[in-house]
Structures are given as structure tokens and as C-alpha cells.
Amino acid sequence: MEKLELIYQAQKEISVLSGIIELLGWDEETNLPEDALEGRAEQVKLIEVLIHRNFLSARLWYAVNKALPTTKKDALVLKELKREISKQRRIPQILVEEIAHQEIICRKLWKDARAAKDASLFLPGLKRMIKLKRRYAQLVMSGSDNYSALLSEFEPGIDSSRLDKIFSRLRDELLSIKEAIAQREYIDLKTDRSMHKKLVKDIVYSMGIEKRRLVFGVSMHPFSTQISRNDVRITTRLNDSVDILFDAMHEAGHALYDLNLPKEYLHTVLFSGSSIGLHESQSTLWEIFIGKSMMFWQDYYKQYKQVLKQPCSLDAFMKNMHSVGKPLKRLDADILNYCLHILIRYEIERDLILGKIDVSDISRLWKERMKDYIGVVPENDAEGFLQDIHWADGDFGYFPTYLIGLMYAAQIFEKMQKDIPEFENCIRRHEFHPIKDWLAKNIHSYGKTLSSEKIIMKATGNGLSPEPLLRQIKRLVS
């Protein structure tokens, strides 16, 4: 078999197998009987082994190194494939297994610690996880330090010394915006669930996702997944809150990105979002900058109000949506405190990986920063640093991508405002096609052929910048 043919065939097999894993994951979150977890884990593991075997086969590695590209596409595919395989070849199988094993242990310890409100149950497991992750970072070493190496797994091309500068500007400005605005109590407005569900679906379709390519589901935590090119799934939680609408717009933003990936790269390593941060920019753009804007609600609220159990005025509805409080939990936070929550975890996880602090310092540091940034101190660690599962999963370097995504989203929003004629009216009338088309052309169409920052640079004329986000937050909360 020709080398290029072998390369494309191997990628297709990996891509199809990955779709099967996504399908099994979707089913696990939405449908799986309680007792079937073990059976499901066996199924997932087998597919993972097949992917791994394919990816690290000597035949594929030989072909990737010897093949001569005949088209621009071949050249791009070979470059990315070579980068990815050579990285994975540097990680010994024993370390991969140790990390996977430690994840299982840590998740269990994390759950136990949360239930007992006692972080000491989790800390030894976490300490071991950090040690393994540091070893991993040294082996892949694609950044200037261990933390940057882990960050680059999610956000290639951006290292932590750069983030430190951007984030410290964000932190100082956010704290001063917060000081200047009045604190308000947030009321969780309730809806008629079945009427709301229908409205939520209509909004998602109006964003430009074809019914033929989408399935809705219900899960404990909302998520979206792509099973194959024309098959995306999104879930929402099962409750009566207005937030269900924003969850759905968020997940639909992710789904639109996946649906618009360039067809020519299907079944290759380039058929993917460019980075986690850029993916998150697509979801938060719809959820926050469009969905939570006055433009979105001005005309629509009259219709929407009918699903509210205690209807209020549009003005009260908007004020409630953007009330800035002192939330203990990131997932309950308004946009301003949400950013601050991310900064707290970023600062602590960076110092843990760099060895500047020990796991025994986390609880104290968390409480100190909560007091300084959010204005409230959690009574226990379950309400504190144990609120998110990422560290138990070994995902160090993931958190900052939430904030990178928000910065990109604000940059995109401001550029669309300039580029799209009658932008405000489009949102006001819920005619989202010009927005969808702009995103497809300027963001989605690149797949993974460029880094996220290069895509943003081409789309907006600027690299990663905190200023648009700060402007937009000020506009939303004041």
C-alpha cells in the first residue's frame, strides 16, 4: 500500500473509532442503567486500545516519516500527525497507565472528600497525581516550564508567563469594576418546564443547526458531543431554571463549530477545533455575549415571559441576569465572578505544578483568595477547592482555557459588530444566519490547520487580548 494511502486509512479508522467512543460516552451520560458502568468501561477500554494501537503502530510512524506530500492538504496533515505521534511516543506506556489508574483513584477520593467535607482524604491522591503530571510535562516539554507544557495540551502556543501578564491585568480591572457596582441578590426564576423546553429547542434551531443533524438529551451536567460529521448531540439539565436556555445556547455554540468543520479534512487529525479555548469561545459567544444581551431580549421577552412562573418586567429580568454577587461556586457565578473563580484556580494550580506550593497549602490559599477576589470565604473545602473535578481527572492547565475562550469570544463579538451590517437588528430579530455564516467562514473553516491565536488574528486583526472582554463585562454588569 502507498504510504499516503496507509496514512489516510489509519486516520479514518482512528476517527471512526473515536466517534464510537463519543457515542458510548453520550449513552453513558444520558441512558445507561445504573449497574452497567463496569460493562461500559470494558467497552470503552477496548476501543481505546484499538485507537492507541493504530496510532502508535510502527507502520504508521514509518509511513509518516517517509511519505512525500503531493498536496497542501497532505503537507498539513503530515505535519500535525507527526507532531502528535512523536509526542505520544515520548510517553512510556507505563506512565499512561499510571495516570489513568491514578485518575480512577483520585475521582473516588475526591467524591469521598466532598461528601465528608474533609480535603485530607483527597490530598495524598492529589499529591501523587501532581507528581505524575510533572513527569508527563517533562517528557512532552513543549513549553518553557512544566505548567506551560500541560497548558499546551489544551491551548498550544500560549505559555503561562504570557498568561500571567494578561491575567493579572484582568484580575486588577475586574476587581475595580466589581468595587464600583452595586451588589444584588440573584433570583433563580422558574419556568414551566415543558413550554420552556420547546422555546429552548426553537432558539437552538434558530442559531442555524439543522434538525437533521442534531439530537437533544438530558444529563446531570450539560455537554455536547460529535459522533460523526452530521451527528451532534447536546444535553441540558432537567430543571425549571431559566439557565437551561443559556446552557443550551452554550452547547449549541460548541455543536455549530463541530458541524462546520471543513469537510475536506474529514477523518484526519485536522478535522477538529483548533484548541479548547477557541471551542469555548464559540459556546460563550452565544451563551453570554449574544444570549445575555439586551438586543436578544428586547423584542423576544414578550413571548418568553409566558413561560415564567413569576413574570417580571424586562428591566428586572435583565438586571437579575447580570446581578453580581459573592458566589461560592464557579458554576453559579455571574460573568464577573466567573472570571475571578478561574483566576483563583489558575494561580493555585500553576504554583502546585511549578512546585512553589504544596497540596497542604491549597485550602488556606483558596480561602484567602476567595476572600480577596470574591468577597466570601467557604466554610469547608467541599464548598471550596473541591467544587470542581478537574484536578482529580489530572486536568492541570485546562482551567485557563475557560478564560481564554471568554477573551476570544469578546474579541469576535466586537469584530462581528463591525463586519455584519445591521448586527444589532439580526440579534434583536433572532435572525442569526449572518452570525453563523461569519463564524463558519472566519473561525470554523480552518479546522486544526492553524493555531487558535492565528485564527483569531486573521479574524479580528489582533492576538489574544483582555481589553474587549473587560469592555463587554463592564457593559453587561453596569
Tell me the catalytic residues: 251
d(CA 183, CA 327): 11
Residue 11 or 283: the one with the smaller Cβ distance to Zn ion is 283
Contacts of 358 (CB under 8 A, 6+ apart): 127, 352
Rounded least distance, CB 253 to Zn ion, Å: 8
Taking only Cα atoms into account, the Rg of the chain, rounded to an integer number of angstroms, comes to: 23
Taking CB under 5 A as the binding criterion, the range among 174-182, 275-283, 329-337, 422-430 that sits at the site for Zn ion is 275-283
225 binds Zn ion (CB under 5 A): no
**Per-residue contact track with Zn ion, 277 to 296, x per CB under 5 A?**
------x-------------
Residue 160 or 283: the one with the smaller Cβ distance to Zn ion is 283
d(CA 336, CA 178): 8
Taking CB under 5 A as the binding criterion, the range among 26-34, 276-284, 441-449, 466-474 that sits at the site for Zn ion is 276-284
Residue 268 or 283: the one with the smaller Cβ distance to Zn ion is 283
Rounded least distance, CB 300 to Zn ion, Å: 23
**Burial category of 102 from C-beta neighbours within 10 Å (exposed 0-12, middle 13-18, buried 19 and up):** buried
Residue 121 or 288: the one with the smaller Cβ distance to Zn ion is 288
Residues 252, 286: contact at Cβ < 8 Å? Answer: yes
Rounded to 5 degrees, φ, ψ at 431 are -105, 90
Question: Which CA distances in Å does 437 have to 49, 256, 292, 332?
Answer: 39, 11, 21, 32
Rounded least distance, CB 438 to Zn ion, Å: 20
Rounded least distance, CB 176 to Zn ion, Å: 28
d(CA 359, CA 126): 7
d(CA 373, CA 366): 10
Cell numbers 482555557: residue: 401
d(CA 82, CA 56): 11
Residue 78 or 244: the one with the smaller Cβ distance to Zn ion is 244
Categorise residue 464: left if φ over 0, alpha if ψ from -120 to 50, beta otherwise: beta
Rounded least distance, CB 273 to Zn ion, Å: 11
d(CA 423, CA 428): 9
Number of residues binding to Zn ion, judged by CB under 5 A:
1
Residue 272 or 283: the one with the smaller Cβ distance to Zn ion is 283
Residues 20, 54: contact at Cβ < 8 Å? Answer: no
User: What's 191's DSSP letter?
Assistant: B
Rounded least distance, CB 22 to Zn ion, Å: 15
Q: Which residue has the closest beta carbon to Zn ion?
A: 283
List residues binding Zn ion (CB under 5 A): 283
